[in-house]
Amino acid sequence: MYDFINIIKDIYTQKTGEKNAVPKTILNSSLKSNLDYIRRDFNNAADLTIHEMSLSGIDSAVISIDNLISKDILALGIIKPMFEYSFTGSPESCLSDIQYKILYVDDITEITTFEELYSFIMSGFAVIALEGCPKMLAVGIQGYKSRSISEPESDVIQRGSKEGFVEPLRTNMTLIRRRMKSPKLNLEIMTIGRLSKTEICLCYLSDTASPKIISMLKERLNKVNIDTVLAAGYLVPYLEEEGRVSPFSTVGVTERPDTVCGKITEGRIAVLVDGVPSALIVPYLFAEYFQTLDDYSNKPYFATFTRWLKYAAFLISILLPGIYTALGTFNPEMFPTLMLNKIAGSIGDTPLSLMAETILILLVYEIMRESGLRMPQPLGYAVSIVGGLVIGDTAINAGLIGAPTLMVVAISAICSYIIPNLYAPAAILRLMFTIAGGLFGIWGVSALFCLVFINLCSKNSFGIPYTAPITPTGAALMRDVAVRAGWKTLSAKTEMVQNMPGANVKSGDAHE
């Protein structure tokens, strides 16, 4: 038993190490040997296309993956110009002529290894190979189909751009570049994943972002040692602090390029992942969960009102079921008389205890939510209607659950949707507070709240206190936390994230 526990502990406490070194295989001078090696590695895959031809007596080949390239550009922009040109000299000089005299394509890269060749052709490049030359040319002629730019479904605003990120990485880079017309905007490409070779892009302003934060981010990304990266969430555990157990994440997620531009203006770094219609933002602070782009489009007084509404809604979403359970179980005298009569009558008419009843409704709600999300959209609406009206009303009439308990759970669930990015931690905390309130009363709720608050205050995001500027307090920075100041005040001075109170990054590092 002891050995089994140690094995489980080792599995969940593995340290992220450096990436395993991938051996490089150098290209051969023999075209036939190179093509045989490629066909053997791909096992004669159906979408592997090798167009062999003779250019002025020199054997050559164009290697590509079907449906990842534009066939028109391949035929008219690469193969036809090479056939019309008269090649003379060594294979190396012929390859140089193709690169500098024949092709009129900007994205041309010289490659020397099979690993580079595989990465390029599976990214929509065509690779040109010549007999007797140990080098090849990768030409960017991407032509795969992709989803058009549309409004994000989970990050909706009333005023502002309706453009959201899409799956192709280059398109997302363009959406950011079009909004930030500054030469200081740095877009840096990296590759993650041993098998997927997924491209990611770091987006930041070179004169604003802290070099220390950039260095920490690259160091953590270099420790990502996984086979495939199919979603942005694959990278989040590697970007957060190790050894910290918390329901809250120190990595922000957004589907909006305008939100990314606003964040990098404050010294943050965005991470774009190829094939993912969203961006990761670091460092990310807890107060930013309550900020939306609509706040900066409305009047300051209304934006301040909605922001405080979000603070209150988050507290209600996690605390209301727990407080209700604690008072109904241990301190019913704290309810008003009329409310107490209703609650006592509903508790007496149901077979379950108040805590069990509340937990049951919470679990049923989560089940209905998951089924509504995973089912086809028309059926999802039907499930929501049936679950909310039929099951809820029938359960109350049958005496299985009480109406006050159902109302409390419904209010807390609705409040949790006001801050959608905090729904996951709110759902878990709501259940934990309910259990604490049912077992230990209001003192259990208070103790758990203190533990959650301590957990928040102990977290850091790339050297920045997670709860800044609330604690440690920064009076000047509270203009966009406690209230939303007007644009004349906000635009007077842009506060950099590395200048937050308690930050371990010097304020002058960004300009070194």
User: One-letter amino acid identity for 177?
Assistant: R
Q: Per-residue pLDDT tens for 235-251?
A: 999 999 877 788 999 99
More confident residue, 167 or 348: 167
pLDDT of residue 510: 42
Q: Per-residue pLDDT tens for 248-262?
A: 999 999 999 999 999
How far apart are alpha carbons 13 and 28 in whole angstroms?
44
Long-range contacts of 83-91 (CB under 8 A, 24+ apart): 83/53, 83/55, 85/55, 85/56, 86/56, 87/55, 87/56, 87/57, 87/58, 88/56, 90/132, 91/58, 91/130, 91/131, 91/132, 91/133
Q: Per-residue pLDDT tens for 419-448?
A: 989 999 999 999 999 999 999 999 999 999
* pTM strictly above 0.75: yes
How far apart are alpha carbons 112 and 50 in whole angstroms?
18
pLDDT of 479 above 50: yes
pLDDT of residue 477: 67
Q: How confident is the model at residue 507 (pLDDT cuts 50, 70, 90)?
A: very low
pLDDT of 144 above 90: no
Q: Confirm if 346 and 454 have CB atoms less than 8 A apart.
A: no
Q: Per-residue pLDDT tens for 153-211?
A: 777 787 778 889 998 888 999 999 999 988 899 999 998 888 888 889 999 999 899 99
| Cβ-based neighbours of 88, under 8 Å, separated by 6 or more | 56, 94
pLDDT of residue 245: 83
What does the pLDDT average to over 484-490? 79
Write down the H helix ranges in 228-351.
236-239, 257-265, 300-330, 337-349
Q: How far is CA 138 from CA 86, 117, 327, in A?
A: 21, 8, 69
pLDDT of residue 511: 40
What does the pLDDT average to over 97-101? 90
Q: Per-residue pLDDT tens for 286-320?
A: 999 998 888 888 888 998 999 999 999 999 999 99
Q: How confident is the model at residue 512 (pLDDT cuts 50, 70, 90)?
A: very low
Mean of per-residue pLDDT scores for the chain: 85
Q: What angle do CA 316, 313, 390 make, to 5 degrees?
A: 75
Is the backbone peptide bond immediately before 283 cis, with ω within 30 degrees of 0?
Answer: yes
- The count of C-alpha atoms lying within 13 angstroms of the C-alpha of 192, restricted to the half-sphere facing its C-beta, is 28
pLDDT of residue 150: 84
Q: Confirm if 480 and 291 have CB atoms less than 8 A apart.
A: yes
What is the three-state SS of 16-63? CCCCCCCCCCECCCCHHHHHHHHHHHHCCCCCEEEEEEEECCEEEEEE
Q: Confirm if 471 and 458 have CB atoms less than 8 A apart.
A: no
pLDDT of residue 369: 84
Q: Confirm if 103 and 78 have CB atoms less than 8 A apart.
A: yes
Written as six digits, the tokens of 9 are 């502990």
Q: How confident is the model at residue 124 (pLDDT cuts 50, 70, 90)?
A: confident
How far apart are alpha carbons 329 and 354 in whole angstroms?
7
pLDDT of residue 475: 64
pLDDT of residue 11: 47
pLDDT of residue 471: 80
Q: What angle do CA 212, 216, 220 make, to 5 degrees?
A: 170
Say what percent of the chain tops pLDDT 70: 90
253 forms beta bridges with 280
297-301, 312-316, 359-363, 479-483: least confidently modelled range: 479-483
pLDDT of 336 above 80: yes
Cβ count within 10 A of residue 158: 9
pLDDT of 508 above 90: no
Q: How far is CA 62 from CA 34, 87, 136, 197, in A?
A: 12, 16, 10, 22
What does the pLDDT average to over 345-369? 87
Q: Per-residue pLDDT tens for 382-407?
A: 666 666 666 777 777 777 888 899 89
Long-range contacts of 79-86 (CB under 8 A, 24+ apart): 79/51, 79/53, 82/55, 82/128, 83/53, 83/55, 85/55, 85/56, 86/56
pLDDT of 4 above 50: no
Q: What is the full DSSP assignment across 198-258?
A: EEEEEEEETTTS-HHHHHHHHHHHHT---S---SGGGTHHHHSPTT---SS-SSEEES-HH
